[in-house]
Structure 1
């Protein structure tokens, strides 16, 4: 059996000296790559880069991904007025009422920004205009977007 002093021969327990540090470095690199990918996907949702986002979602990235503020991909796409992405995320099962850490919903964000088509998509998917802080209904009243309240139904 080796004493492990030769710098690369397995010791009695089968551990090669130095591998722990290498594994940690690889793990850190993997974590950094995953974080960079998540940031790229959040940017894709914000910027309306449907092709990039769909490619990764189809490859298995969860549509439930959220950032450190609790903003989902759906929230970012809705707030920034990207109906194609909103439609795709809803079709995958995204929760139309999922609030971020501040209690804001995708519907309230779309109302605030005046994205009529996105509001329609979210309401059609069952988004509740009376949930969240502020609710979509309250946001419509606060920001003079009362034309959108007609889309909320009864």
Structure 2
């Protein structure tokens, strides 16, 4: 099943989840199907898993989220899908900042519901 997520075999993986495979199945490193699909740049697979109940907030044993994986891979489509599904931008912001992925920081900051802590409205001396 994890190879299906890595390979972006959306139809086959979705059918397996529909047949009872847990949408949040994890491997021995704590990687979920969603994390693997996000890391390997398969937005259609990510969307299918999210629609079937995959938790966008789950992290692996290293504390990495699907959103952080998508940000690292600079996949804007997957980032948007995960943000729309409720993924917290804070889970990926350190990755984006560490690797200098300014376009990903901007994308997460422009998303509706993004924390306003990074906005221009931060208190300024008057």
CA-CA distance at 1:138 after TM superposition? 1.2
TM-score for both structures, normalised by structure 2? 0.82
Aligned position for 2:84: 124
Alignment length (residue pairs): 110
Runs of 4+ residues over 2 Å off in structure 1: none
TM-score for both structures, normalised by structure 1? 0.68
* Structure possessing the higher relative contact order (Cα contacts under 8 Å, 6 or more residues apart): 2
Alignment of 1:12-91 (within 5 A): 41-91=1-51
Structure with greater Cα Rg = 1
Aligned to 2:90, the other structure's residue is in SS state coil
- Check the 8 A contact 1:70/1:101 in 2, yes or no: yes
List runs of 5+ in structure 2 lacking aligned partners: 110-115, 117-126
Aligned position for 1:110: 70
Aligned position for 2:104: 148
List runs of 5+ in structure 1 lacking aligned partners: 1-40
